[in-house]
Amino acid sequence: MARLVLKFGGTSVGTIDRIKNVARKVKQEVDAGHEVAVVVSAMSGVTNQLVDYVKQVSRLADEREYDAVVASGEQVTSGLLAIALQEIGIPARSWQGWQIPLITDDVHGKARIERIESGDLVARMSTGEVAVVAGFQGVSKDGRIATLGRGGSDTSAVALAAAVQAERCDIYTDVDGVYTTDPRIVTKARKLGRITYEEMLEMASLGAKVLQTRSVEMAMKHRVRVQVLSTFEEAAGSALPGTLVVDEDEIVEQELVSGIAYSRDEAKVTLVGVEDRPGVAAAIFGPLTDAAINVDMIVQNVSEDGTTTDMTFTVTKADLDRTVQVLEGARDDLKFRRLIADSNVVKVSVIGVGMRSHAGVAQRMFKALADRGINIQVISTSEIKVSVLIAEEYTELALRALHTAYGLDQA
Ligand code: ASP
Ligand code: MG
Where residue 314 sits, what CATH number does that domain have?
3.30.70.260
Question: Ligand 1: which atom is nearest the Cα of residue 10?
Answer: 7
Residues in contact with 75: Cβ distance below 8 Å, sequence separation at least 6, in sequence order: 94, 96, 134
Q: Are residues 277 and 246 in the same domain?
A: no
- Whether 156 maps to a domain, the answer reads yes
Q: Are residues 165 and 199 in the same domain?
A: yes
68: enclosing H helix or E strand: helix 63-70
Domain count, the chain: 2
- Whether 231 maps to a domain, the answer reads yes
- The CA-based diameter of the chain, rounded to the nearest angstrom, is 80
- Whether 53 maps to a domain, the answer reads yes
How far apart, in whole angstroms, are the C-alpha atoms of residue 137 and residue 41? 10
How far apart, in whole angstroms, are the C-alpha atoms of residue 24 and residue 232? 12
Q: Are residues 273 and 150 in the same domain?
A: no
- How far does the centroid of ligand 2 lie from the alpha carbon of residue 68, in Å? 20
How far apart, in whole angstroms, are the C-alpha atoms of residue 61 and residue 54? 7
- Whether 365 maps to a domain, the answer reads no
- How far does the centroid of ligand 2 lie from the alpha carbon of residue 151, in Å? 4
Q: Are residues 287 and 203 in the same domain?
A: no
In the listed set 312, 342, 372, which residue is the last one of a domain according to the structure? 342
How far apart, in whole angstroms, are the C-alpha atoms of residue 269 and residue 174? 37
The amino acid present at 127, given as its one-letter code, is: T
Residue 272: name the closest of 293, 303, 297 by CA: 303
Per-residue confidence in pLDDT tens, the chain, 411 aa: 799 999 999 999 999 999 999 999 999 999 999 999 999 999 999 999 999 999 999 988 899 999 999 999 999 999 999 999 999 999 999 999 999 999 999 999 999 999 999 999 999 999 999 999 999 999 999 999 999 999 999 999 999 999 999 999 999 998 889 999 999 999 999 999 999 999 999 988 766 678 999 999 999 999 999 999 999 887 655 578 899 999 988 887 777 899 999 999 999 999 999 988 889 899 999 999 999 999 999 998 877 777 899 999 999 999 999 999 999 999 998 889 999 999 999 999 999 998 988 889 999 999 999 999 999 999 999 999 999 999 999 999 999 999 999 999 988
Q: Are residues 329 and 210 in the same domain?
A: no
Cβ 57 vs Cβ 24: under 8 Å: no
Q: pTM (2 decimals)?
A: 0.88
- Whether 160 maps to a domain, the answer reads yes
Question: Which ranges in 136-244 belong to alpha helices (H)?
Answer: 153-163, 197-205, 213-222
Residues in contact with 85: Cβ distance below 8 Å, sequence separation at least 6, in sequence order: 23, 26, 27, 91, 92, 130, 132
- Whether 118 maps to a domain, the answer reads yes
Q: Are residues 205 and 283 in the same domain?
A: no
In the listed set 218, 250, 282, which residue is the last one of a domain according to the structure? 250
In the listed set 342, 372, 387, which residue is the last one of a domain according to the structure? 342
Q: Are residues 168 and 216 in the same domain?
A: yes
Strands 345-351 and 385-391: antiparallel
Beta bridge partners of 356: none
Question: Ligand 1: which atom is nearest the Cα of residue 154?
Answer: 8
Give residues (CB < 6 A) around ligand 1: 9-10, 41-42, 47, 73, 135-136, 150-154
191 secondary structure, DSSP code: B
Domain assignment of residue 40, given as a range: 3-250
- How far does the centroid of ligand 1 lie from the alpha carbon of residue 281, in Å? 39
Q: Are residues 186 and 107 in the same domain?
A: yes
Is 210 labeled as ligand-binding?
yes
Note the ligand closest to the C-alpha atom of 150. Answer: 1
Q: Are residues 18 and 107 in the same domain?
A: yes
Q: Are residues 135 and 218 in the same domain?
A: yes
- How far does the centroid of ligand 1 lie from the alpha carbon of residue 46, in Å? 9
Q: Which CATH number belongs to the domain containing residue 156 in this structure? A: 3.40.1160.10
Query: What three-state secondary structure class fits 171?
Result: strand
- Whether 192 maps to a domain, the answer reads yes
- Whether 243 maps to a domain, the answer reads yes
Q: Are residues 293 and 162 in the same domain?
A: no
Q: Are residues 102 and 145 in the same domain?
A: yes
